[in-house]
Structure 1
């Protein structure tokens, strides 16, 4: 009986509960508070969009004080956006190629590393683009516009005459 018990114990030890992952995938959302056009961006190498939710960013299950988000994005000023109108038809290959070059030369590239505020439960990452090429992020489970949401800056904020350093 002792041998049978030992064999059963060894077999059952292989049926332990799976360990929880250290990180969970979450969506990336972008909220543009500026006059500039910002479509796509990256957070720690993962893509995001201000035109809807994109999957995925890996968020640690447990927040730590050194947790940061490296955000990179391209912006287009309102003046540059107007100068690029009208957009040529895609099938007008020659003019479309010229337009793409003009667009590429008009984009301004930005990068910043910001702290990720403390969270108990990760609900993806929301990236807020603010005037003066500043960024705030949150992993709040609430949504922008709700009273409980931690970032309350309005949309379409004007760029100040002088940006703080």
Structure 2
């Protein structure tokens, strides 16, 4: 009797194990993604970080540089966030000729002390915009210290880029949020 029960248990155990063969549980594994930044604000981004990974610096209306890497899940989820830290110029109101920070003097020489510029350091958690496949993490610096993060292979001026903002340039229009 005991032997018969043991045989049945063994057969059931093997059947359970075999039924799991070939079935893969859905995974959302992390993979390394490159980082690119794009500056749509009117302040220079001296440096920025994505989840602690250095992204570089971006001039006003600049971007496109790519560095490695930050780990992200391969699939998007509604609660997917990254922490963005950045240091930017903080020159205040626009001055003559639509400038913000004082320009370097024409006679400026390497080794001289540059003019004092004010800087501001910021950090915030940002929800990542929906994406289908893991790719380059693109950080968009926008007016009023807003930040959007996209994961895409398209450059910002591509017709299929989800931001629809075009090539980086300062968005001075007070209604820039409606420009999509």
TM-score by length of structure 1 reads 0.69
Describe the SS at the equivalent of 1:83.
coil
Contact 1:34 1:159 survives alignment (8 Å):
no
Describe the SS at the equivalent of 1:143.
coil
**Quick one: distance in 2 between partners of 1:69 and 1:139?**
12
Q: Let me know the Cα RMSD of the aligned residues.
A: 2.7
Question: If each structure's helix is expressed as a fraction of its own residues, which one has the higher value?
Answer: 1
Contact 1:59 1:124 survives alignment (8 Å):
no
Query: Which residue does 1:157 correspond to in 2?
Result: 171
Indicate which of 36, 42, 54 corresponds to 1:35. 42
Contact 1:57 1:124 survives alignment (8 Å):
no
1:125-148 Cα shifts (integer Å, max 9, x gaps): 000011000011100222210111
Q: What are the within-5 Å matches in structure 2 for residues 1-165 of structure 1?
A: 22-49=29-56, 50=58, 51=63, 52-76=65-89, 77=91, 82-83=101-102, 85-86=104-105, 89-90=109-110, 92=111, 95-96=112-113, 99=114, 102-103=116-117, 106-154=118-166, 155-158=169-172, 160=174
Query: Unaligned stretches of 5+ in structure 2?
Result: 1-26, 176-180
Deviation at 1:69, TM superposition (A): 1.4
**Quick one: distance in 1 between partners of 2:109 and 2:173?**
32
Query: Unaligned stretches of 5+ in structure 1?
Result: 1-19
Deviation at 1:119, TM superposition (A): 2.0
**Which one has a bigger Cα radius of gyration?**
2
Contact 1:123 1:139 survives alignment (8 Å):
yes
Contact 1:132 1:159 survives alignment (8 Å):
no
Question: If each structure's strand is expressed as a fraction of its own residues, which one has the higher value?
Answer: 2
1:13-41 Cα shifts (integer Å, max 9, x gaps): xxxxxxx9921111110110111111320
C-alpha change, 1:21 and 1:115, in structure 2 (3 Å) is: closer
TM-score by length of structure 2 reads 0.64
